[in-house]
Amino acid sequence: MYGFVWNHEVRRLFSQRAMRVVWVVAMIGGLGAFVSFVDPDHHLHQPHRILVDTDVDTDDVFALFYLLKQDRTQFHLQGITINANGWSDAGHAINHVYDILFMMDRDDIPVGVGGEGGILANGTILPNVGGYQPIIDQEMSTAGECRYRQAIPVARRGRLDVNSNYGLRKAFLPQGSRRYTPLQQPTAQEVMKDAISSGPTTVFLLGAHTNFAIFLMSNPDLKKNVKHIYVMGGSVRSNCPKNDSSDNSGECPNIGNLYPQDSNPYAEFNIFSDPFAAYKVFHSGIPVTLVPLDATNTIPLSRSFFTEFERRQDTYEAKYCFQALKIIRDTWLSDVFHEQYCMWDSFLVGVALSIMRNSSNGENEFAEMQYINISVVTSNEPYGISDGSNPLITGNSMPKFKVDKNGVHSGHVQMGMQDRFCLQKGKGKCQDGYTKEDTGEDAVRVLAAMKAKSNHENGSSLQKEFYKSFLRVINSPEKTGRFDIRKQYLFHREVLHKPDFGKKMSGKPVVFDMDMSAGDFLALLYLLKLPVEQINLKGILICSTGWATSATIDVVYDILHMMGRDDIPVGLGKAFAVGQANPAFSAIGDCKYSKAIPHGSGGYLDSDTLYGLARDLPRSPRRYTAENSVKFGASRDTDHPELRQPSALDVWKSIVDSLDAGSKITLLMNGPLTNLAEIILSENASSMIQVNNVKMPRPNDDTVYLCLLMQGVYIVGGHIAYVNDNGKGNLFTVPSNEYAEFNMFLDPLAAKEVFTSSLDITLVPLQMQRRVSSFSSILNRMNLTALTPEALFVQRLLSRLWQLEQEHYRYHHMDIFLGEILGAVVLAANPHLNQTFRLKPLKVLADGDITNIGEIIIDKEQGKQVLVLENVNPQAYYDHFARVLGDHRQSAVLGSFHEQERMWNSPAAKTNICCLHLDELIQTDQYMEKHLIVNLADLV
Ligand SMILES: [Ca+2]
Ligand SMILES: [Ca+2]
């Protein structure tokens, strides 16, 4: 196909200019250009150039392998771009794709993610828009609404499982040298532009259409290079038999696949994630072939296919895919996995490649095709009524992108999954994202797959033709993965580390609650370095409502592994701030507060990859897992129920149960107060309580009970408003809210719960954190300290944050994270720091207007007496921090991933670390009981 453009170009020149120009062009263009001029059929021998845009869900991974295993002389993958507002989060998705490409020996394929550009109010699209927001909500920041994306579960069976491939990714995939690096990562738009501008390209869309629509809108001149678009998405007719509808509207209900469906039973996820983008793509004039739910519903992951797949796992990629499928099945909520889980994106790729092979009229081996006329519903009637829901109209002097004020884009736009407009009885539901059959002038003709073709072989257990192809391709010995983690390292083994503190007395029991912002990792390393006689870190609670997504828990496991502390339990907290989960379906929810966190640079993208440095940490055998057991409320036991991921509450309870007589827990909160509020509320459950192994009746006030267990709570965060020298808060993405601090704002109701409890609170407020957030001071001091592996890591992270802060405005807030170390240091109470405190009556504003939610005010009548840090000596603080990190005691046992690689490459790795193979460990009965919650130490 490459030749076609040249051919065209040459003809134009030939007709316009003298013959010698042709020769010049032919020489510039190389021999190929000239050959194509004399041989019009030459292009048939060129590979099809393909660009894939994917949201890296599990079925996308299957699709990628299916594509990567094709003959490269026939199908050439030019680039992969990541859809950042779909089923995965950008930082996890990008590294997942890099791992897959490394494994398949395809480090040559460019991968694009994100971008920091925006769209101006007048509709001007700046370069490199990151695609974190649907086009209609895209403004100048990467923070923003979750209007459509809230349909996707955030944690289990949603983004958490997809980000980690159910916990399998780190267990299976090898790791190459490519990775996300801040400000160096190619953006989605750059990769699209490079691929498409260099020749005729076929585009596969496996997620929402945001990236590609933005590309088409901002590069109209390159549209001619897009040969064809293949889309998995939408739902046209559904599989409802005619005249068999269960509601009175005469329509077939539940055409789409969102859940719950009460507000919009028509839409399919990929189109719903950005209906306006899909409209732009379908109506671009480029030929589209669609594989909607109509077709994918006819190719479910049937029992017999599953059984056959289980039998045929000849390649590592087949194993990876099958294990993922198996855990998806085992954790499926209902018993109808085999009917509900379909071949979506891999089927699209199968159909597309087959059509491209046959090269003409849509004929293919796998699906029955039909031309239909459709349009994408982007807003519901009544059109032209401005009700505040439509950002193309509302708040702009002229409608954005020049949309017609009374046209198809100007009606009500669905606001969320509980939009009242969509739920009114008798008024019809919302149809946003519906690929509706349409005969009007706005319709476009697309070739659509309507049904998967049956297998023509007699007696095969695989009923569909594509089942056969998929298993053949994925198991094909050609172009199989170059590496798996065990082949990459001849002596790969997973061992757990446990410290040997000898007879040292254990110090103050501390539980650390972190939202995995950069400063929390610095604080964690510091806590691990404090002498165990002084601070005994008993457990870590992960707060999932702050600056990183839940799957980043793996970075915490890696830090603990590096420091030889696989004995410390880590529990994963709830995905939503108090009151934000959907009351009808708690796996999804709103982002009223979390939308203040940027998705791109300086936000989730960086936290989830720890600013590109997380891959330098050794890989822990502990990692997030979707494994589960009936005992803990799951539908069924998975293969390794003992590996179940503990929740924050599990870890809390197990620590409480194991407390020595007379000792009390000190809690350090470094993120939003979600987990602590849950702990307070959960103590309502039973009438008997246990304190220091003694059972006793519950006191009337729950928090009184907690006071028996807890020495006190240190809270890092909060800004006390309206005090003269305190300045403003730090909510830079919500400029109307001048005085709040992020940790309070991100879960205000949790903060209110904590600030009305009877717990002893010590507050380390923003104003004090600011006093110790000088990058130059701390780095100067770090330069003088001994370079333990942990000091080196801290130094690299701090230098990177500082450098980014200076280099790009998206990183202007990096000092927020530096200030977060202070809580841990204050808790350790080093006498040289001259810490002073004062009691103040404080109240958190939790309800009411967004402009003051999260503020802390002094309230003499209703405020709670809180001990507030009033002074600290910054120089002594930097000194102390650097000295602790440079101490050779309690230092890393495995300094880096490189060191781990060396260990995995040598036969009898020296080890004075106490260790045990994970495989052996899993086989022990005690492990079944105690898994990884607390007492791993007992086993080792
Ligand atoms: Ca997908
Ligand atoms: Ca934090």
CA of 496 to the centre of ligand 1 (A): 35
Do both 453 and 519 map to the same domain? no
Minimal CA–CA distance to 91: which of 489, 670, 518, 571? 518
Give 442-494 as a DSSP string: T-EEEEEEEEEPBP-STT-S--BHHHHHHHHHHT-STT--S--HHHHSTT---
CA of 278 to the centre of ligand 1 (A): 14
- Rounded Cα distance, 408 and 719, in Å: 46
Query: Which of 160-169, 885-894, 921-930 is the least confident region?
Result: 921-930
Angle formed at CA 81 by CA 161 and CA 592, multiple of 5 degrees: 55
Q: C-alpha dihedral over 470, 471, 474, 475, to 10 degrees? A: -160
Do both 742 and 865 map to the same domain? yes
Do both 458 and 530 map to the same domain? no
Q: Which ligand is nearest to the CA of 205?
A: 1
Q: Which ligand is nearest to the CA of 268?
A: 1
Domain around 266: 48-239+252-378+413-475
| pLDDT the model gives residue 395 | 87
| pLDDT the model gives residue 914 | 41
CA of 715 to the centre of ligand 2 (A): 10
Do both 423 and 532 map to the same domain? no
CA of 745 to the centre of ligand 2 (A): 13
**Does residue 919 belong to any structural domain of this protein?**
no
CA of 156 to the centre of ligand 2 (A): 22
CA of 838 to the centre of ligand 2 (A): 24
CA of 334 to the centre of ligand 1 (A): 22
CA of 663 to the centre of ligand 2 (A): 27
Element (H, E) at 880: helix 874-886
Q: Which ligand is nearest to the CA of 547?
A: 2
Q: Which ligand is nearest to the CA of 344?
A: 1
CA of 490 to the centre of ligand 2 (A): 39
CB 748 within 8 A of CB 854: yes
CA of 515 to the centre of ligand 2 (A): 5
Q: What is the pLDDT of residues 820-838, one digit of tens each?
A: 999 999 999 999 999 999 9
Per-residue confidence band for 688, with pLDDT thresholds at 50, 70 and 90: low
- Rounded Cα distance, 602 and 341, in Å: 36
How far does Cα 657 stand from its chain's mean position?
A: 34
| pLDDT the model gives residue 382 | 83
In the chain, the number of structural domains is 2
Do both 466 and 517 map to the same domain? no
Q: Which ligand is nearest to the CA of 546?
A: 2
**Does residue 922 belong to any structural domain of this protein?**
no
CA of 699 to the centre of ligand 1 (A): 51
Do both 525 and 430 map to the same domain? no
Q: What is the pLDDT of residues 294-320, one digit of tens each?
A: 999 999 999 999 999 999 999 999 999
**Does residue 495 belong to any structural domain of this protein?**
no
- Rounded Cα distance, 373 and 362, in Å: 16
CA of 670 to the centre of ligand 2 (A): 4
Q: Which ligand is nearest to the CA of 88?
A: 1
Q: What is the pLDDT of residues 209-263, one digit of tens each?
A: 999 999 999 999 999 999 999 999 999 986 555 444 444 455 556 789 998 888 9
CATH of residue 596's domain is 3.90.245.10
Q: Which ligand is nearest to the CA of 62?
A: 1
Query: Which of 77-81, 306-310, 436-440, 671-675 is the least confident region?
Result: 436-440
CA of 836 to the centre of ligand 2 (A): 23
**Does residue 487 belong to any structural domain of this protein?**
no
Q: What is the pLDDT of residues 726-781, one digit of tens each?
A: 799 999 999 999 999 999 999 999 999 999 998 999 999 999 999 999 999 999 99
What are the tokens at 293?
């739910």
**Does residue 140 belong to any structural domain of this protein?**
yes
Do both 469 and 560 map to the same domain? no
CA of 447 to the centre of ligand 1 (A): 20
CA of 94 to the centre of ligand 1 (A): 14
User: In this model, does residue 687 exceed pLDDT 70?
Assistant: no
Average pLDDT for residues 544-562, to the nearest whole number? 98
Residue 75 bridge partners (DSSP): 48
Q: Which ligand is nearest to the CA of 513?
A: 2
Do both 469 and 527 map to the same domain? no
Do both 522 and 466 map to the same domain? no
Q: What is the DSSP letter of 712?
A: E
Instruction: List residues, by chain if needed, whose CB lies under 5 Å from ion ligand 2.
Output: 515, 517, 520, 670-671
Q: Which ligand is nearest to the CA of 517?
A: 2
**Does residue 484 belong to any structural domain of this protein?**
no
Do both 208 and 104 map to the same domain? yes
Q: Per residue, what are the HEC states of 343-371?
A: CCHHHHHHHHHHHHHHCCCCCCCCEEEEE
| pLDDT the model gives residue 285 | 97
User: In this model, does residue 911 exceed pLDDT 80?
Assistant: no
Average pLDDT for residues 158-174, to the nearest whole number? 96
**Does residue 934 belong to any structural domain of this protein?**
no
Q: What are phi and psi of 574, to 5 degrees?
A: -65, 150
Average pLDDT for residues 119-144, to the nearest whole number? 97
CA of 751 to the centre of ligand 2 (A): 14
CA of 181 to the centre of ligand 2 (A): 21
**Does residue 218 belong to any structural domain of this protein?**
yes
CA of 818 to the centre of ligand 2 (A): 10
User: In this model, does residue 169 exceed pLDDT 90?
Assistant: yes
- Rounded Cα distance, 777 and 878, in Å: 7
* Residues 6+ away with beta carbon under 8 Å from 678: 573, 574, 648, 649, 750
Residue scoring higher pLDDT (381 or 935)? 381
Do both 368 and 429 map to the same domain? yes
Residue scoring higher pLDDT (368 or 381)? 368
What are the tokens at 269?
């996820």
Do both 453 and 525 map to the same domain? no
Q: Which of 456, 475, 494 is the C-terminal boundary of a domain?
A: 475
CA of 206 to the centre of ligand 1 (A): 4
